[in-house]
Amino acid sequence: MARQQPIELFMPPNMLKAKAGGGFGGVDMNAIKRAEAAMETLKGDFSGMAADGITALSAAREAYAAKADPGSRAALLRTAHDIKGQAATYDFPLMGRVAGSLTKMLGEAPQGTLLPTGSRWR
């Protein structure tokens, strides 16, 4: 058996890290405290923000019921997805689950499929 050459490891320079300014400097607890304080001041507005989302969802649903085209379907999906994402912040978990189910239905149904828009959905 021939003698094998020793393995040589070459570590290329991390150019992204050099451009970004090095490593992570740690958690700024003051920034976290400021963010928590800001969330506390906004808490009173959450029900109004959630109501605005529901109003937007209702308007998107009406637009889809009037004209079931890809644009109105995309607007309905986007609105439901926004509500799904914001529900945890608003502390409305049920609203998030309902919006999540709607998002899943809209996202997984084939593009040509007509979705229910009757009075049961109101």
Query: Is 2 contained in some domain?
Result: no
**Averaged pLDDT of the chain:** 84
Query: Is 98 contained in some domain?
Result: yes
Domain enclosing residue 104, as ranges: 46-121
Query: Is 59 contained in some domain?
Result: yes
Query: Is 17 contained in some domain?
Result: no
Query: Is 36 contained in some domain?
Result: no
Question: What's the rounded mean pLDDT across residues 75-99?
Answer: 91
How high is the pLDDT of residue 21? 62
Number of structural domains in the chain: 1
- The whole-angstrom separation of Cα 25 and Cα 21 is 10
Query: Is 65 contained in some domain?
Result: yes
More confident residue, 17 or 91: 91
92 in helix, strand or coil? coil
pLDDT at 50 over 70: yes
Give backbone dihedrals phi and psi of 3, rounded to 5 degrees, phi first. -70, 130
Query: Is 6 contained in some domain?
Result: no
Query: Is 105 contained in some domain?
Result: yes
Go through the chain and tell me how many residues it has.
122
pLDDT at 51 over 80: yes
- The pLDDT-based confidence of 44 (bands split at 50, 70, 90) is confident
